[in-house]
A and B are shown apart, each in its own frame.
Chain A
Amino acid sequence: MKRSALHRWHEKAGATLSEENGWSAPLRYSSPEQEAGAVKRSVGICDLSHIHEPLSPYARLLISGPNARLLLSKLTSLNLDRNTSYGTVAHVRGMVLRDALGFLVLVPRDYAESVWDAILHAGEEFHITPFGLEAHRRLEA
């Protein structure tokens, strides 16, 4: 089983994990309804590292919700109006891509947990919620 850099975090957070393309991925932490609702109200974060090109150094973290921009602005000086921008997020070199659901943050996987923690910390004021693939599918629909 292939694991994202956040595998242990998901486990510790009590996520229900399943296999997606040979990767272990978090389906849900609480319920997809609650998670999707919280994202729509404020902001959420989802580990999409399983959408992976071979030998890619990057973990993919999706930040979604009306407060996504404000939250990300606390961690990067990049201009978030651009579709693709390269620079540091939470002091880590990476890139930010605009996504239909928000912002995809790509950082080297060895830094991923550190960046994930920084996002959760910066998101406390917005009551950030981690969301799983089920909520992600709901939001995409």
Chain B
Amino acid sequence: MREGDTVASALYRAGQRIFTRSFKYHRPRGLLCCSGNCPNCLMNVDGIPNVRTCITPARAGMAVRHQNAKPSLDFDYLSVAQKFDFMMPVGWYYKRFTNPKMWHLAEQQIRKVAGLGDPPPPDVPQAVYEHSHMHADVAVIGGGLAGMEAARDAAAGGERVVLVDDQVHAAHPSEANFTLLERSYCFGLYEGNLLGVVQKEPHAQARERLVHIRAKRVVIATGAYETPLTFKNNDLPGVMLSSAVSRLIRRHGIQPGKNAVVIASEAGDPNLAGDLLSAGVNVVATVSPSDVLEAAGGNHVRTLRTKRGNFACDLVVMCGHRIPDTGLLSQAGAKLEWSVSAGAFIPVEFPPNVSAAGDVLGTELKAAAALPAPKESTNKRTFVCMCNDVTTQDLCDGVAEGFDHIELLKRYTTTTMGPCQGRMCQLQAIGICARETGRTIPETGVTTARPPNPGVTLGALGGARHHPTRRTPMHYQHEKLGAIWMDLGDWKRPRFYAHPSASNERECVRQEYQAVRQKAGMIDVSTLGKLSLKGRDAGKLLDKVYTNRFSDLKPGRVRYAVLCDEAGIILDDGTISRQSEDEFFITTTTGNLDFVEQWLEWWMAGAGLDAHVANLTSAMGAVNLAGPHARDVLSKLTGCDLSTAAFPYMACRNADVAGIPAILLRIGFVGETGWEIHFPAESGEDLWSAVMEAGKPFGIRPFGMEAQRLLRLEKGHVIIGVDTDALTNPYDAGMGWVVKHEKEDFIGKFSLGKLADASAQQNLVGFLMNSDALPEDGAAILVNGALAGRVTSARYSPAKQKPIGLCWVPASAASEGAAIEVRVNGSPVAATVTRQVFYDPEGSRLRM
């Protein structure tokens, strides 16, 4: 290995000549283009498949493996496939496997035999991929002479320039407004001049970086590249493009062969002879493309047979067609036109803010050989598409079978559809299609260019793995208390707290439950959506959006709030408290905050109401302190009179708690006397600590989501989205009382009016198991042995000493005491419907 070696050049220097085995016939393939265009050098490098080794810098210790060859590149027993090529004409599996069963069997075998590399196994250490973004006045793609000049001109004119090039540059631009992205290739030009660029190894820790460039103006200077000539066995290792030969000699100091035959027309590469001479390559003969008959040899070329005789050689240099690299221009919408003198399609019209410079314009190019190749060169060993092993014979057969449009021919034969995306084969395929259909090349046209080209790794598209996490202000206090976390959207919430006196989750939850029912408990409810609604029309807006009435809510009072859509479906619930005449404080469910905020804004604008919504969710933390001793705990920390006379159930007050300004709501989701306390997030730790400290003598315990779910279930409180679904209206859910039909107008009024008069088909009801069997959430409900509904929530109730739950049942089975069955562990178990809540049905504990 030498300084500047690529993986492919280092292997070539070490004597390796076969780099891949072909897609279908497993023919040996060697270096062809040495510039990252063709599929012949794709290998697995450090576990990553399909790496273009001819443009990947070599490093000591790299693990390079061949693909699609068994057992080795030099001897691949699957190359026997060539012997059966008569069985595998173009489109052969459409023709052979007309029986679906047969295809099913064959498909598995074909997939093993054909194809490219395997995806990395899961145990390969995950490489680091990144994304980045750039905004520029000018983006220049291609850092050759023309591209560099365009970039320097733009920079000199004061524009902010980014130059994208696949090479490494010795000299770096020093201007501050000139950015050079090296080892980078542009794979797509999207709407609005958005360029997708992949940069290889942008720094030591990253394998690839996907750079999104947005540029006011794009200059395409991607140059031109050379494509192969067509003759029999033109794919043998040792048959190379002249640009590849020059690159091996000049850049890597490699002697590519000892005895070479050069295939060139008069327009051939003028520097080639000098390069070959300098590398000590003996040029046996120079022949015209039209004189070539075939290359011969086993695993490597040994003879070139021509009309002028046979030449023994170990290198055949093709001076192929040079064609402009117009992929990005086509994607941008540039118009291409056939140029006879260039022997290529060249860009003639450009969309606004896209231009081209240098060889990609095609004005300097000269056709290298007659196009299309003459009919007599048609056979099963003249390869047009190296990626997918498509031969001249296949293309002719395709046209003969009726696929006579270039886009159809492409799809039928898969030519231009491999890893090189038509770079090597498009021109020849168009030529053959034109010849076989009797049309001209311009009439035949080009296939559509689409990104990505060249291909992009999924890792680069995926980018860095970063999942945002939301933490409440008391996150680390929960951690210290032994919180076992659960994810709720982006939020982390304690499911329960691992307590030293409890051996398992069930016991922890039971203790937390008991603390709330008998002493005092506190739960972090900071994830609730919190909105402030201010303004003259605030009450009117709430009357419009929610089903119950809020304009008549007195300052200092709280009301339960349900929000429905036009069809009367429940979308969200929460509480709304009136803090002053024109200011309301709204809570929403954790998941629906964004929706409710937008919904309010939308209807405010729609109805022309004067109000303002502020989202306080991130600014404020919240806890719920509940239990028979909640008042004793809280009164130690606040001057606010907490007696029921001064602060009744469903009232709200603004007061300091532990010196922290807070909003107190006396509400009772868990069914005990309690306060929901909202406070500035930055004081969350202080408030939590103060309450825990004040609660110590009363046996206060923090409680998590699991205990909360059990506590509320005993109260029959519904969780929107858990107990309800996308078809639930308030009447089905047994919450008809939240709809105030006498209101002038509100969202869903019409539908809810209809629903109120109709009898519900399904009802959400409570159930009590007759035995100790605990159903899972979602378990089936059976009525008279037939499937009739489902459980939405079920827990073991300490208050009832039996499993309880909520479930959907048909209206006929929804009456108090109705016998139903719940499927537990696959067997129906008897249960009884109850319309009463399971704990404190009078709600006296809330009002104590």
Q: Which residues of the other chain, A, contact B618 by a CB distance below 8 angstroms? A: 57-58, 108-111
Q: A50-87 vs B: 1/0 string, CB under 8 Å? A: 00101111100000000000100110111111000000
Q: Of A26-34, A119-127, A129-137, which stretch is located at the interface?
A: A119-127
Q: Are B470 and A54 in contact (CB under 8 A)?
A: no
Residue B473 is within 8 A (CB to CB) of chain A in the complex: yes
**CA separation between A114 and B470, bound complex, in Å?**
7
**CA separation between A90 and B130, bound complex, in Å?**
12
Q: Which residues of the other chain, B, contact A114 by a CB distance below 8 angstroms? A: 468-471
Report B312 CB to chain A, min CB distance, Å. Answer: 54
Q: Are A110 and B470 in contact (CB under 8 A)?
A: yes
Q: Which residues of the other chain, A, contact B490 by a CB distance below 8 angstroms? A: 111
**CA separation between A52 and B203, bound complex, in Å?**
37
Q: Are A91 and B468 in contact (CB under 8 A)?
A: yes
Partner of B130, one of A5, A8, A113, A122: A122
- Nearest-neighbor residue (CB-CB) of B681 within chain A: A109
Q: Which residues of the other chain, B, contact A80 by a CB distance below 8 angstroms? A: 135
Q: Are B206 and A125 in contact (CB under 8 A)?
A: yes
Q: Are A5 and B468 in contact (CB under 8 A)?
A: no
Question: Contacts A77-B212, A125-B206 hold; do A113 and B469 have CB atoms under 8 A apart?
Answer: yes
Q: Are A56 and B468 in contact (CB under 8 A)?
A: no
Q: Of B295-303, B385-393, B633-641, B682-690, which stretch is located at the interface?
A: B682-690
Q: Are B682 and A3 in contact (CB under 8 A)?
A: yes
Q: Are A3 and B685 in contact (CB under 8 A)?
A: yes
Q: Which residues of the other chain, A, contact B214 by a CB distance below 8 angstroms? A: 79
Q: Are A5 and B471 in contact (CB under 8 A)?
A: yes
Q: Are B470 and A124 in contact (CB under 8 A)?
A: no
Q: Which residues of the other chain, A, contact B135 by a CB distance below 8 angstroms? A: 79-81
Q: Are A55 and B619 in contact (CB under 8 A)?
A: yes
Residue A1 is within 8 A (CB to CB) of chain B in the complex: yes
Q: Are A73 and B468 in contact (CB under 8 A)?
A: no
Q: Are B615 and A91 in contact (CB under 8 A)?
A: no
**CA separation between A79 and B212, bound complex, in Å?**
12
Q: Are B682 and A4 in contact (CB under 8 A)?
A: yes
Q: A97-126 vs B: 1/0 string, CB under 8 Å? A: 000000000001111011100100110110
Q: Are A122 and B619 in contact (CB under 8 A)?
A: no
- Nearest-neighbor residue (CB-CB) of A59 within chain B: B618
- Nearest-neighbor residue (CB-CB) of B684 within chain A: A3
Q: Are A8 and B476 in contact (CB under 8 A)?
A: yes
Q: Are A23 and B133 in contact (CB under 8 A)?
A: no
Q: Are B470 and A77 in contact (CB under 8 A)?
A: no
Q: Are A110 and B466 in contact (CB under 8 A)?
A: no
Interface residues on A, range: 35 or more
Report B677 CB to chain A, min CB distance, Å. Answer: 16
Residue A2 is within 8 A (CB to CB) of chain B in the complex: yes
Partner of B620, one of A52, A55, A70, A90: A55
Report A77 CB to chain B, min CB distance, Å. Answer: 4
Scan residues 1-24 of chain A and give those whose CB is less than 8 A from a CB of chain B.
Answer: 1-5, 7-8, 23
Q: Are A73 and B470 in contact (CB under 8 A)?
A: no
Q: Are A111 and B464 in contact (CB under 8 A)?
A: no
**CA separation between A109 and B474, bound complex, in Å?**
12
Q: Which residues of the other chain, B, contact A115 by a CB distance below 8 angstroms? A: 468
Question: Contacts A81-B135, A115-B468 hold; do A56 and B619 have CB atoms under 8 A apart?
Answer: yes
Q: Are A91 and B206 in contact (CB under 8 A)?
A: no
- Nearest-neighbor residue (CB-CB) of A125 within chain B: B203
Q: Which residues of the other chain, A, contact B685 by a CB distance below 8 angstroms? A: 3, 7
**CA separation between A124 and B464, bound complex, in Å?**
13
Residue A139 is within 8 A (CB to CB) of chain B in the complex: no
Residue B132 is within 8 A (CB to CB) of chain A in the complex: yes
- Nearest-neighbor residue (CB-CB) of B130 within chain A: A74
- Nearest-neighbor residue (CB-CB) of A55 within chain B: B619
Partner of A1, one of B133, B467, B475, B686: B686
Residue B617 is within 8 A (CB to CB) of chain A in the complex: yes
Residue A38 is within 8 A (CB to CB) of chain B in the complex: no
Residue A92 is within 8 A (CB to CB) of chain B in the complex: yes
Report B542 CB to chain A, min CB distance, Å. Answer: 21
Q: Which residues of the other chain, B, contact A81 by a CB distance below 8 angstroms? A: 135
- Nearest-neighbor residue (CB-CB) of B470 within chain A: A110
Interface residues on B, range: 35 or more
Number of interchain pairs (Cβ within 8 Å): 98
Residue B472 is within 8 A (CB to CB) of chain A in the complex: yes
Partner of B132, one of A3, A73, A111: A73
Residue B844 is within 8 A (CB to CB) of chain A in the complex: no
Q: Are A76 and B466 in contact (CB under 8 A)?
A: no
Residue among B205, B468, B615, B620 facing the most chain A CB atoms (10 A cut-off): B468
Q: Which residues of the other chain, B, contact A90 by a CB distance below 8 angstroms? A: 466, 468
Q: B355-377 vs A: 1/0 string, CB under 8 Å? A: 00000000000000000000000
Q: B198-238 vs A: 1/0 string, CB under 8 Å? A: 00001111100000101000000000000000000000000
Residue B824 is within 8 A (CB to CB) of chain A in the complex: no
Residue B134 is within 8 A (CB to CB) of chain A in the complex: yes
Q: Which residues of the other chain, A, contact B472 by a CB distance below 8 angstroms? A: 110
**CA separation between A39 and B543, bound complex, in Å?**
54
**CA separation between A5 and B464, bound complex, in Å?**
24
Q: Are A125 and B205 in contact (CB under 8 A)?
A: yes
Q: Which residues of the other chain, A, contact B117 by a CB distance below 8 angstroms? A: none
Residue B616 is within 8 A (CB to CB) of chain A in the complex: yes
- Nearest-neighbor residue (CB-CB) of B131 within chain A: A74
- Nearest-neighbor residue (CB-CB) of A71 within chain B: B132
**CA separation between A55 and B470, bound complex, in Å?**
18
Q: Are A124 and B466 in contact (CB under 8 A)?
A: no
Report B344 CB to chain A, min CB distance, Å. Answer: 36
Q: Which residues of the other chain, B, contact A125 by a CB distance below 8 angstroms? A: 202-206
**CA separation between A73 and B134, bound complex, in Å?**
7
Residue B778 is within 8 A (CB to CB) of chain A in the complex: no
Residue B454 is within 8 A (CB to CB) of chain A in the complex: no
**CA separation between A111 and B472, bound complex, in Å?**
9
**CA separation between A55 and B473, bound complex, in Å?**
14
Q: Are B683 and A2 in contact (CB under 8 A)?
A: yes
Q: Are B204 and A77 in contact (CB under 8 A)?
A: no
**CA separation between A7 and B473, bound complex, in Å?**
10
Residue B648 is within 8 A (CB to CB) of chain A in the complex: no
Q: Are A54 and B471 in contact (CB under 8 A)?
A: no
Q: Are A57 and B132 in contact (CB under 8 A)?
A: no
Q: Which residues of the other chain, B, contact A124 by a CB distance below 8 angstroms? A: 205
**CA separation between A76 and B456, bound complex, in Å?**
21
Q: Which residues of the other chain, A, contact B253 by a CB distance below 8 angstroms? A: none
Q: Are A52 and B682 in contact (CB under 8 A)?
A: yes
**CA separation between A3 and B616, bound complex, in Å?**
17
Q: Are A122 and B133 in contact (CB under 8 A)?
A: no
**CA separation between A1 and B470, bound complex, in Å?**
22
Residue B680 is within 8 A (CB to CB) of chain A in the complex: yes
Partner of A55, one of B468, B471, B680: B680
Q: Are A5 and B470 in contact (CB under 8 A)?
A: no
**CA separation between A122 and B683, bound complex, in Å?**
30
Residue among B464, B491, B526, B620 facing the most chain A CB atoms (10 A cut-off): B464
- Nearest-neighbor residue (CB-CB) of B532 within chain A: A55
Scan residues 570-596 of chain B and give those whose CB is less than 8 A from a CB of chain A.
Answer: none
- Nearest-neighbor residue (CB-CB) of B203 within chain A: A125
- Nearest-neighbor residue (CB-CB) of A50 within chain B: B682
Q: Are A55 and B683 in contact (CB under 8 A)?
A: no
Q: Are A23 and B682 in contact (CB under 8 A)?
A: yes
**CA separation between A80 and B132, bound complex, in Å?**
13
Q: Which residues of the other chain, A, contact B476 by a CB distance below 8 angstroms? A: 8
Q: Are B616 and A57 in contact (CB under 8 A)?
A: yes
Report B617 CB to chain A, min CB distance, Å. Answer: 7
**CA separation between A8 and B471, bound complex, in Å?**
12
Query: Can you identify 16 A-B contacts, CB atoms within 8 angstroms?
Result: A7-B685, A55-B620, A55-B680, A56-B619, A73-B132, A73-B133, A91-B468, A108-B618, A109-B618, A110-B470, A110-B526, A113-B471, A114-B471, A118-B468, A125-B205, A125-B206
**B residues apposed to A, CB below 8 Å:** 130-135, 202-206, 212, 214, 464, 466-473, 475-476, 490-491, 526, 614-620, 680-686
Other A-B contacts than A54-B680, A109-B682, A114-B470, 11 sampled, CB-CB below 8 A, are A3-B686, A5-B681, A52-B682, A55-B616, A55-B620, A55-B680, A90-B466, A108-B470, A110-B681, A114-B469, A125-B206
Closest 3 CB pairs of A and B: A57-B618, A108-B618, A2-B682
